[in-house]
Amino acid sequence: MQVYFDNAATTALDKQVIEAMVKTLNENFGNPSSIHAHGRETKTIVEKARRTVAKLLNASPSEIFFTSGGTEADNMAIVRAIECYGITHAITSPIEHHAVLHTLEELAHAGKIQLDLLKVDAKGNIDLNHLEELLAKNPRTFVSIMHANNELGNLTDIKRVSELCEQYDAVFHSDTVQTMGHYKHDLSDLKIDFITGAAHKFHGPKGVGFLYINGKNKIKPLIYGGAQERNMRGGTENVYGIVGLAKALELAYEEMEEHQSHIQGLKDYMKDKLVQEIPGVQFNGETDADKALYTVLNVSLPCTNMGDMLLFNLDIKGVSASGGSACSSGSDIGSHVLRGICADPKRPSVRFSFCKYNTKEEVDFVVGVLKEICEHK
């Protein structure tokens, strides 16, 4: 049996997404920047996709900009907002995705900003009181806090963060890559400056994402070379990818309640089975349904001499997952997220992440494999 429990890394393409992309591949090869009929037809397809995304997020089409993925979108928002607004202070957490953390650290290293990292508790929750303290001391700052942690699954109350940022005149960016397509985002209600999405996290294609820029914000492009994306991103559009992204997000919204119920059930079932079958098993991050992303379960195992071999052994036995220890030898320094919550470096951890295609039978198989590995530690 082969089991794929690494959906937080990427998801399989939905068949309806493939069909939409293939239709475009077959019928619409024109360059959307061209003024002839073939170009105009393709341009219409891109703009239709933009309207679809905007409608689902309750935003304006003029606020949606297609990118190569979440990393580019994060970099564009962070680098350009800080430069264009003359911001010299930024706040983030030590357990952000590297697309955010490394970008801000590089700006700090170059002397462009002072960077403060928020306090994080043992479960991976950021300290909002600390955030308010820092905002009170540093008016007009840049804040970047993700909606859900990609390793732990912890959800952050970004509505509360947005209210604090508005109170202290801060610019707020949130990496919503892990929650896009899994939770509904009403951008007319959420007072936020920038959010990001990546299609391959919700059964769309790799290599395409988007950046939402609140209409009140004006920033310069990160990539120059053309007038595409209303002069905000040079380069010929990934038309087939954009079509796939819009279709995948549309399907995600249509099926959200059904899939959330199914996936949360799988996560709860696996958690209970692990407790029953593996004495000493623990869980990293929040596990309460209202505090954690329903697609992610981070497991800390008692087989302390397994180390980095855990994922290797899982792979050999047909299980695809990801994770690691808080500290390990060699060039791999382990997970910065697990180190950030002071996880036990002697206990190997693994992140299991689920999707609409997974089953209880797969959970049973994976728990059996884990039990076997831990019994032969």
Catalytic residue positions?
A: 327
Asked whether the beta carbons of 117 and 144 are under 8 A apart, the reply is no
Please report the sign of the dihedral spanned by the C-alpha atoms of residue 83, residue 85, residue 88, residue 90. negative
3 state DSSP class of 102: helix
Whole-number Å distance between alpha carbons of 277 and 132? 43
Beginning with the edge strand found earlier in the chain, give each strand of the sheet holding 171-175 in spatial order: 64-67, 209-213, 194-198, 171-175, 142-144, 89-92, 114-117
Q: Report CA 292 to chain centroid distance, whole Å.
A: 13
CA 36 to chain centre: 38
In this structure, are residues 50 and 56 in contact, taking their beta carbons and an 8 Å threshold?
Answer: no
How many residues comprise the chain?
A: 377
